[in-house]
Structure 1
Amino acid sequence: MTSDLQTLIGKLNPTCRKGLEAAAEICVSQTHYNVELEHYLLALAADQPDTDMQAVLRHYDVRVADVKDDLSRFIENFRRGNNRTPALSPYILRLLEQAWLLSSLYFNSGSIRSGALLLALLEHDNLRILIYESCPALKRISADELKPHIQEIISVSREESPLERGRGVSPENKASRIQTPNSETPNLELYTTDLTQRAKKGLIDPIYGRDAEIGQMIDILTRRRQNNPILTGEA
């Protein structure tokens, strides 16, 4: 396994990593030679409810059963007889590369989610051609239609990155990072948290024993210039 591939696999969130492991198990059980895109997509669609991928499929009225049937039929035609550890298909490496670009630049995330995998699959010309052939059910979803709305669609997903899981990010908190249509500050909404709004909703714990720090913040906020305080330190 190349270092690039190892790095990309390390970027997978728990859902996508488990999916890749399940894809390898499917491949081995059927003595196929390579873990292909179809193995991976089948594993992600199979037994993991409440994921980004499931949310996207529901949004476009694509039945999970149809996706599984299409992929299973296509996989039946793969060459069999391998008694060694299967290799990862070059197409999976390409998929992970594209998904990581989307995750870091578009989703502003430090890990790869199944929503990023699906969008990368549909955005990349060669990968899209391959997956439309093996899974016609996915032809109902186009990257051009999906991309502007995907963050709103997956806001109902319970899929988490390791960072989100460690910090206890809730679906409501994730939803608050979705851009509001026609907003005057779309980038602020996407990349920051509105502490004032969260305080109004009672989502911020009271602060005790920080009178000096609160005073400093008030002093900074009342300045005419350089009036942007930065909060650092442990929660």
Structure 2
Amino acid sequence: MRLDKFTLKSQELIQNAQGLASQQTHQQIEPEHLLSVMLRESEGVARAILLKLGISPDSVSEEISIFIEKQPKVSGARDVYFSPRTKNVLDAAFLEASNMKDEYVSIEHVLLAISGETDGEAARILNRYGITRESILKVLIDIRGAQRITDPNPEEKYQALDKFSRDLTDLARLGKLDPIIGRDDEIRRIIQVLSRRTKNNPVLIGEPGVGKTAIVDGLAQRIVAGDVSETLKNRRVVALDMGALIAGAKYRGEFEDRLKAVLKEIEKAKGEIILFIDELHTLVGAGAAEGAMDASNMLKPALA
């Protein structure tokens, strides 16, 4: 088995499953250990899949933990190795990756392989909750889109827009934005510019603290209230979080990958999303390491 063909997250999964087996003094790593570890990952793709299916990951995790606790313990066992079932699951995960034209084995491939087991408690628990290979594949399209896995850290790019932005229309719908008073002319002008077929990128300029961001909040509130032109009805106003985009992007190309994933999701929405970039000047030089492209240059083609 080639561990270099596993994504960083799935390598971490195997290490943590080994740690769990050692902690429980089990001699073998079983698929149940793998499933238990992947469901504990709060930001993991496995939890996201279950939540999309309307199933509580904590309930499934609890059942798996109870089963693991009941397994026979081997005192004095030093080496922990893969059971034949786990080897079969990881081989099946390789096959899933190959069928999906992915270059690396990711967490979702391992989950698909576990759900497709014919015997074993992990598969039985998943099936009891109605989690089958087919249902996982269905929601995976929402999470991953049409992206193929071509690098060892693909999870960073899943649902990139949700991770690196705030939906202002959602906040307006929930009443979490303050009411805007006396900015009707500016909001109307923004609506006018956004409604154009071309040259439809308004930029708000003014001294700090005069309420530029508040105007965008006002636009989001108007969209929710339906008080906009037909061209802007049911649109989403999404504020890009540059801090979150840059944070943790250690390696060259990581920031560009994140921003490209965000732009790809916006393009896929086909005009349904209005992207708001606060503090526009921060785009110049943002994320540019030596020889890398900064955010402003990456956004230019999309804004043209």
* TM-score band, normalised by shorter chain: 0.5 to 0.7
- Taking the TM superposition and a 5 Å limit, the aligned residue runs for 1:1-235 are 5=1, 7=2, 9-46=3-40, 48-83=41-76, 84-106=78-100, 108-124=101-117, 126=118, 130-133=121-124, 135=125, 139-155=129-145, 161-162=151-152, 164=154, 167-168=253-254, 169-170=257-258, 171-172=261-262, 175=265, 200-202=301-303
**Residues 160 and 22 (structure 1), Cα distance of their counterparts in 2 relative to 1, 3 Å cut:** farther
SS at match of 2:26: coil
Q: Distance in 2 between matches of 1:121 and 1:87?
A: 18
Report the aligned-residue RMSD.
Answer: 3.3
SS at match of 2:50: helix
User: What percentage of residue pairs aligned between the two structures are identical?
Assistant: 18
Q: Distance in 2 between matches of 1:11 and 1:60?
A: 28
Q: Distance in 2 between matches of 1:33 and 1:56?
A: 30
Q: Distance in 2 between matches of 1:149 and 1:136?
A: 15
**Residues 115 and 76 (structure 1), Cα distance of their counterparts in 2 relative to 1, 3 Å cut:** same
Q: Distance in 2 between matches of 1:105 and 1:116?
A: 10
Greater Rg over alpha carbons, structure: 2
Deviations 1:102-146 (A, max 9, x none): 11221x22111111111122234x25x54233x357632122233
Q: What letter matches 2:141 in structure 1?
A: Q
Maintained 8 Å contact 1:45/1:53: yes
Q: What letter matches 1:66 in structure 2?
A: S
- Shift in Å at residue 88 of structure 1? 0.8
- Shift in Å at residue 28 of structure 1? 0.7
Q: What letter matches 1:20 in structure 2?
A: I
Q: Distance in 1 between matches of 2:151 and 2:265?
A: 15
SS at match of 1:42: helix
- Shift in Å at residue 177 of structure 1? 11
Gaps of 5+ in 1: 181-197, 204-235
- Shift in Å at residue 35 of structure 1? 0.8
Maintained 8 Å contact 2:36/2:64: yes
- Shift in Å at residue 91 of structure 1? 1.3
- Shift in Å at residue 72 of structure 1? 0.8
RCO higher in structure (CA 8 A, sep ≥6): 1
What TM-score comes out, normalization by structure 1 length?
0.62
Maintained 8 Å contact 1:19/1:44: yes
Between Structure 1 and Structure 2, how many residues are aligned? 172
Q: What letter matches 2:4 in structure 1?
A: G
- Shift in Å at residue 17 of structure 1? 1.1
**Residues 29 and 91 (structure 1), Cα distance of their counterparts in 2 relative to 1, 3 Å cut:** same
Q: Distance in 2 between matches of 1:101 and 1:29?
A: 30
Q: Which has the higher helix share?
A: 1
Maintained 8 Å contact 1:62/1:137: no
Q: What letter matches 1:201 in structure 2?
A: A
Q: Distance in 2 between matches of 1:61 and 1:78?
A: 29
What TM-score comes out, normalization by structure 2 length?
0.49
Gaps of 5+ in 2: 157-250, 271-298
